Structure 1
Amino acid sequence: MRFRLTDPDRAGRAIDCREADIDPSRVLTAVRDPTDDGVRCRRATRLHGTLGAVGFASSPSRRQTLAAVARSRGVRVPEQEALAAARDRLASHATEPTNLAPEREEVASANDADRAALREEVARLRGVVDATRGGDGPIEETLTEYRETAARLSEVGTTATAASERLARERERLSERYDAHQRRLELEDAVANRERDVRRALADRAAPRVARARDALAETTPVDPESDRALQLAALRAARLSAPAVVAGGSLDASVLARVTDASIVRCRDL
């Protein structure tokens, strides 16, 4: 590891930068970001997010920590097959948007005031035609206007009927899509449950190894064996991490931490 956040650079398996007063979060970012030249080291895996930061405000749960230890050592459990199957079922389940707004707008536009106005106009013209039939009024002109208006009303009615039928079909499809959406929620719940099963099984597999690591730490370091820090350090000792761990605070210096955890360490000031 080469630490380039101080002047001059530092190199080695255990780097102590407390006197430089560098924000521990800045160091953690440099370790985890392969494009950040502040710390040159082996690439951090996703497990570094659980195991590679000790003494930071947000700590993973005990089960998450133990499961990450097992994963770092390549442990496999039968529950992972059920998880993979649940994820496959979720991935193959497609859902469509459930939006009826366009169809509702089409029905509304086909049933607006224009349709009512056309009905009134047809009724008025029909009355004029009836009143002037057999008389001396402009019957042919009135009949032509009546027929054209009636044709427009029929066209609007046809459009409204078609729009209503489309809305009814879309409502039926909406019901089907709702059922599909509910099924997707069930599949997502199943995946979450299987993920918990995997974490539990992995944690159970790693628990004895981490317990032994915690006992070893208790014999050599002044760390409360029941504390979260002791669990984090024991997990670090029991795991296999490629990138260095970043440790904030505590009573141990970088060289001691590297020795008792058997890991590369960057020791930072308290948060």
Structure 2
Amino acid sequence: MTDTLSPAEVGVEVTDGVCVVTLDRPARLNAFTSTGYLQLSQALAKADLDDAVRVVLIRGAGKAFSSGVDLDSLATADPEELRTRFAALVGTLAGMTKPVVAAPHGVAVGFGMTLLLLCDVVLVAEGCRLRAPFTALGTVPEAGSSYLLPALIGRQAAMDIVLSSRWITSTEAVRLGLAAVEIPPDDFDDVVRGYVRTIAGYAPASVIASKRLLSSKRKQRALDALAAEYNAAHALPRLTRPIG
């Protein structure tokens, strides 16, 4: 299914084995709509099946990576469609066989942050700020982050980030293990491009097999967490903002 009458919210460019997927709603800080969920899921699925693609890079256009779900769009969105498309996107990200590198800059909030947990390597721009604002919005973690976050950085750090809904600096993101490296803004694009091109230059079978070994059982655990998150969100007596 495609939203043929909707404007493109995700850009795709394939060059030298690298598929650059750009979140492209800069006027809204690349906030996601139902259409954006669908387009990103389709772009990733297509890249994973394309023999010309060896590595995927997710980046954001303009001043930010992503501010999460577009809260204004929720007023007109079909809740079931939104949930279905969000779940499909999480499943696609979790099931990618090729490496997915994320390059956040500016801000990465809500799904803009939890999306990073589903990627294989995160290269963060110096000055970028991350936030999981779910308790501040009266809801719960999403995108499988209730499993992925503590699995990545430990229970105490995950509890702190989720319960406080506080901002995380790029430096802290690297220290906690949310990102691999922090890169100065002036060098960011060049360093990120060089990194993904290096991976694209290696033997695809070796890269894919290595990712598979390092990601064993991750997809199912993330999807199980996603289902539990939906149940928890809809059991809340007063849900301020729906997840997804």
TM range (shorter): under 0.3
TM-score, normalisation: structure 2: 0.22
Structure possessing the higher relative contact order (Cα contacts under 8 Å, 6 or more residues apart): 1
In terms of fraction of residues, the more helix-rich structure is 1
Instruction: Please identify the structure whose Cα radius of gyration is greater.
Output: 1
| Superposition TM-score, scaled by structure 1 size | 0.21
